[in-house]
């Protein structure tokens, strides 16, 4: 029932690069609603990150499979190429050896990425250190603190006013004595 702008205004995200943690702070009038919003933001972020990782891995696997198929086709073409001269035969053998190395490397990378994808899908990339819970005491306003600060500031203002009044009262007396 809240608009996106209202939600954006009550959410603050702090990133700590030293510890690689992110703190989500939600402020508002209803503590339960704030904690629910913070927890939902975390859950949506986890889902989004997981989807991005899966999409990235799927694209990487598709790219490697495409490159592997191209290399295998080039290898077949190189092996079926007619032999004309000894120099061409040496060049062809070098090309075949190079293509076989590329195929072996791509096959190894493909297996590595598939293993990585299966391990990532089983574990959680983002770990919730502590779920949001509504505070037991209100965070604001702090009535006792605000009252104490107001009393100290009021006392300082009264003392300042007394000094100003005394200065104004004694200023005409000094002018009379000087004349």
Predicted pLDDT at 79: 84
Predicted pLDDT at 150: 96
Predicted pLDDT at 123: 58
Q: What tens-digit pLDDT sequence spans the chain (179 residues)? A: 567 888 888 888 888 888 888 888 888 888 888 888 888 888 888 888 888 888 888 899 999 999 999 999 998 988 888 777 777 788 888 888 999 999 999 999 988 888 877 777 655 666 677 777 777 776 677 888 899 999 999 999 999 999 999 988 887 666 666 55
**Of 39, 41, 44, which Cα lies nearest the Cα of 133?**
39
Predicted pLDDT at 18: 87
Three-class DSSP category at 21? strand
Predicted pLDDT at 121: 63
Distance between CA atoms of residues 167 and 153, nearest Å: 21
**Sign of dihedral through CA atoms 121, 125, 129, 132?**
negative
Q: What ranges in 21-85 are assigned the alpha helix state H?
A: 31-80
Predicted pLDDT at 151: 97
Distance between CA atoms of residues 59 and 138, nearest Å: 49
Distance between CA atoms of residues 150 and 13, nearest Å: 32
What pTM did the predictor assign? 0.55
Report CA-CA distances (Å) from 50 to 55, 75, 125, 126: 9, 37, 7, 9
81-85's contacts with Cβ under 8 Å and 24+ in sequence apart are none
Predicted pLDDT at 125: 63
Predicted pLDDT at 28: 82
Distance between CA atoms of residues 104 and 100, nearest Å: 6
């Amino acid at each position: 029932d809240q608009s996106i702008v209202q939600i954006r205004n009550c959410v603050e995200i702090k990133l700590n690069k030293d510890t690689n943690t992110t703190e989500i702070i939600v402020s508002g009038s209803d503590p339960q609603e704030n904690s629910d919003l913070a927890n939902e933001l975390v859950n949506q972020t986890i889902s989004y990150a997981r989807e991005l990782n899966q999409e990235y891995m799927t694209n990487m696997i598709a790219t490697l499979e495409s490159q592997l198929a191209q290399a295998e086709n080039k290898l077949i073409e190189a092996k079926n190429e007619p032999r004309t001269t000894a120099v061409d035969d040496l060049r062809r053998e070098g090309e075949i050896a190079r293509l076989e190395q590329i195929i072996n490397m791509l096959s190894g990378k493909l297996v590595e990425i598939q293993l990585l994808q299966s391990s990532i899908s089983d574990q959680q990339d983002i770990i919730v250190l502590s779920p949001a819970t509504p505070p037991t005491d209100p965070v604001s306003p702090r009535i006792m603190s605000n009252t104490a600060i107001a009393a100290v500031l009021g006392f300082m203002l009264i003392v300042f006013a007394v000094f100003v009044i005394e200065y104004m009262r004694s200023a005409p007396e000094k002018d009379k004595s000087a004349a």
